[in-house]
């Protein structure tokens, strides 16, 4: 790979890996957990063409289904353990804070069979072998791993989801279904647009001004004023605060150092590529016994 990766300052620098010509990103700390597999896809290693090249993982943006199917097969191959299309379960994202409990009956919903749900931005499961997947092109993913109860969660946390505290909602869903304690969890905030690149207007800034105290915004560097009534929104910092307030230990929160907008040759970015583009995915799975 000849692409130079621009990195931000962060506490959880991600690894760039390549397996069978598929390039992807991983958190070293999550790799140390022996019962889970995870990755964050890049644009490299798939078969899609044109604006979707190469590793587009969305079926709804105009790409050929056969190409997207093959891209998922390649991801399944990288994740190993004989995974196939039938093992994926994907969100149906509409910027909500709705989180779905995934059971064996949901296996394959996305690539293999039609999803019978909508308005789902987060998934949780304790079923081995199922691969949870969320879609991204500037919005952050959040990975949740409960090593005590061997349960996992994965959520899409754009500004609306972050404002609505989908991080806490996901942890509550895991608590209610698997007995998860937030203090036991290891959580990772994956690649997305960084705060220095994320310019917002007064309307979105006001949403955050009502969701957090002025002290929280200032002390955590969440919302930074910018000229001409604009602001910089640091979603990574906001999600980190949400996880802390939910009870996750500071040392168990990992934060990416890779921005989608800063790396348009490696990653799809809505702010760079617009609507005619592919989607990245975050994936998380419990290994088969």
Q: Token pair of 271, please?
A: 């702010």
- State CA 275 to chain mean position distance: 19
| Beta-strand pair 186-189/253-255 | parallel
Judged against a pLDDT cut of 90, whether residue 150 lies above it is answered with yes
Q: What percent of the chain has pLDDT over 70?
A: 98
Number of Cβ within a 10 Å radius of residue 65: 9
Backbone φ, ψ for residue 274 (5° rounding): 75, -155
Cis, peptide link before residue 269, omega less than 30° from 0: no
148, 182 in Cβ contact below 8 A?
A: no
What is the per-residue pLDDT across 186-223, written as a single tens digit (0 to 9) for each?
999 999 999 999 999 999 999 999 999 999 999 999 99
Whether the Cβ atoms of residue 44 and residue 74 lie closer than 8 Å to each other = no
Show the domains of the chain with their CATH numbers.
15-191+252-286 (3.60.140.10)
Q: Answer whether residue 76 shows pLDDT above 90.
A: yes
- Whose tokens are 């946390």? That residue is 157
pTM for the full model?
Answer: 0.97
Separation between Cα atoms, residue 159 and residue 85, nearest integer Å: 30
Can the peptide bond before residue 54 be classed as cis, meaning omega within 30 degrees of 0? yes
Q: What dihedral do alpha carbons 70, 103, 172, 154 form, nearest 10°?
A: -10
Segment 153-172, tens digit of pLDDT: 999 999 999 999 999 999 99
Q: Residue 69 has which token pair?
A: 């199917």
Give the C-alpha separation, 92 to 37, whole Å.
22
φ and ψ of 124, to 5 deg:
-135, 150
Q: For 113-128, what is each residue's pLDDT tens digit?
A: 999 999 999 999 999 9
Token pair of 102, please?
């995934």
Q: Is 143 in contact with 188 (CB distance < 8 Å)?
A: yes
């Amino acid at each position: 790979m000849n692409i130079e990766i621009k990195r931000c300052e962060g506490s959880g620098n991600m690894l760039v890996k390549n397996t069978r010509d598929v390039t992807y990103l991983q958190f070293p700390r999550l790799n140390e957990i022996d019962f889970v597999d995870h990755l964050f896809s890049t644009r490299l290693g798939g078969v899609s063409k044109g604006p979707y090249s190469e590793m587009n993982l969305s079926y709804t943006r105009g790409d050929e289904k056969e190409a997207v199917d093959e891209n998922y097969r390649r991801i399944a191959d990288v994740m190993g353990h004989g995974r196939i299309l039938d093992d994926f379960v994907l969100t149906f994202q509409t910027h909500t804070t709705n989180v779905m409990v995934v059971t064996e009956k949901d296996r394959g919903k996305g690539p293999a069979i039609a999803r019978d749900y909508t308005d789902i931005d987060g998934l949780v499961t304790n079923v081995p072998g199922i691969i949870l997947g969320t879609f991204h092109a500037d919005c952050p993913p959040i990975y949740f791993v409960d090593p005590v109860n061997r349960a996992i969660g994965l959520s899409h946390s754009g500004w609306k989801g972050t404002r609505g505290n989908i991080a806490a909602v996901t942890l509550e869903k895991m608590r209610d279904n698997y007995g998860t304690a937030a203090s036991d969890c290891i959580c990772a905030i994956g690649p997305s647009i960084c705060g220095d690149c994320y310019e917002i207007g007064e309307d979105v800034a006001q949403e955050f001004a009502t969701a957090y105290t002025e002290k929280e915004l200032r002390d955590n560097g969440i919302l930074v004023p910018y000229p001409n009534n604009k602001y910089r929104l640091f979603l990574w910092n906001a999600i980190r605060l949400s996880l802390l307030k939910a009870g996750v230990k500071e040392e168990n929160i990992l934060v990416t150092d890779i921005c989608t907008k800063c790396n348009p040759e490696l990653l799809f970015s809505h702010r760079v590529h617009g609507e005619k583009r592919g989607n990245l995915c975050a994936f998380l799975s419990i290994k088969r016994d």
